[in-house]
Amino acid sequence: MADAVIRAQQVQTAPAGYTVPQAQEIVVKSVRALVDGSGAGSAFLAVLQLVAPDKSVVWEAQTDTTIAAGASANVSWFPGVSPAVASSGAGVAFASGNYDSGANPPFGVAAGTNDSQPFYQLTNTDPTVFTWSTTTNNDDTLTLHPAGTYLCFVGYQGGTGGGLGGPVIVPSSVPFATHNYQELTANPALPGGFANASDYTIIHSTASDYAVQVIITNPSGFNMSVFEVDFYVCYLATGA
């Protein structure tokens, strides 16, 4: 079965979460939470947990440092990715981009075409590793500075009128038509009839300043509106 993005349909009061329905099974590939701390009266840690049916905690991921009262945090988890050891004084370098049609300018892809996805809500934990920039659309390009290994994932939600469309992670220097992408199949629809699709890849760059984009494809005969896109890149290892 193709990957599906599960997201809260509305803002929730912490502690909040998603309960897997009975008789269903999911494989968790990544988790992300935007924690609004505007109402916090003191510094806090933002924490993600996977809780078993017996209420035991399977894993826990928290921010490396406390968040000041009134500030917000973007907390993420990937399988097999752990923070750097304490003696290094740094966590894993991570970048993310979000597009939300409810908060950002409208974006869509015409029938039978593709376009680079713009992003407006950006995260970059280490500017020496990542740089966001604009090539065609707003902040549509992420440059990976050191040679090494990067884990990339993108989740997409858009209108069903576009048919079998979705996101593909590609190097910005490679023509889209020649890219052997992993997926162009709609994932199971979310409540409300929204279409979902996703793409993930591991990049092994042998040279510095390797630029990537998320390309939204629309092979159908209908214009397609994009509702939300979440793009994550984690720097795993140095060297080629």
The pLDDT tens digits along the chain (240 residues) read 556 667 666 676 766 777 777 777 777 767 777 777 777 778 877 787 777 777 787 777 777 677 777 777 777 776 666 554 433 334 578 999 999 998 999 998 888 888 899 999 999 989 999 999 999 999 999 999 998 888 888 887 876 444 444 566 665 444 333 333 333 333 444 344 445 667 778 888 888 898 888 888 777 777 888 888 999 999 987 654
**Are both 48 and 124 inside the same structural domain?**
no
Give Cα separations from 127 to 27, 94, 123, 132, 166 (angstroms). Answer: 32, 10, 10, 9, 29
Q: Is the pTM of this model over 0.75?
A: no
How confident is the model at residue 89, as a pLDDT?
Answer: 39
Distance CA 136, CA 111 (A): 19
Tell me the torsion sign for CA atoms 124, 212, 202, 217: positive
**Are both 98 and 215 inside the same structural domain?**
yes
**Are both 142 and 230 inside the same structural domain?**
yes
How confident is the model at residue 2, as a pLDDT?
Answer: 56
Domain residue limits at 43: 28-77
**Are both 58 and 151 inside the same structural domain?**
no
Residue 57 falls inside a structural domain: yes
For residue 223, what is the domain's CATH number? 2.60.120.40
Distance CA 118, CA 214 (A): 8
**Are both 100 and 193 inside the same structural domain?**
yes
**Are both 135 and 172 inside the same structural domain?**
yes
- Structural domain count of the chain: 2
Residue 127 falls inside a structural domain: yes
Task: Find out whether 179 and 116 touch, Cβ atoms under 8 Å.
Answer: no
**Are both 207 and 183 inside the same structural domain?**
yes
Give every CB contact of residue 180 below 8 A, 6+ residues apart in sequence.
none
Could you give the maximum distance between any two Cα atoms of the chain, in Å?
55
Residue 6 falls inside a structural domain: no
**Are both 126 and 208 inside the same structural domain?**
yes
**Are both 62 and 93 inside the same structural domain?**
no
Residue 19 falls inside a structural domain: no
**Are both 97 and 181 inside the same structural domain?**
yes
**Are both 98 and 144 inside the same structural domain?**
yes
**Are both 72 and 124 inside the same structural domain?**
no
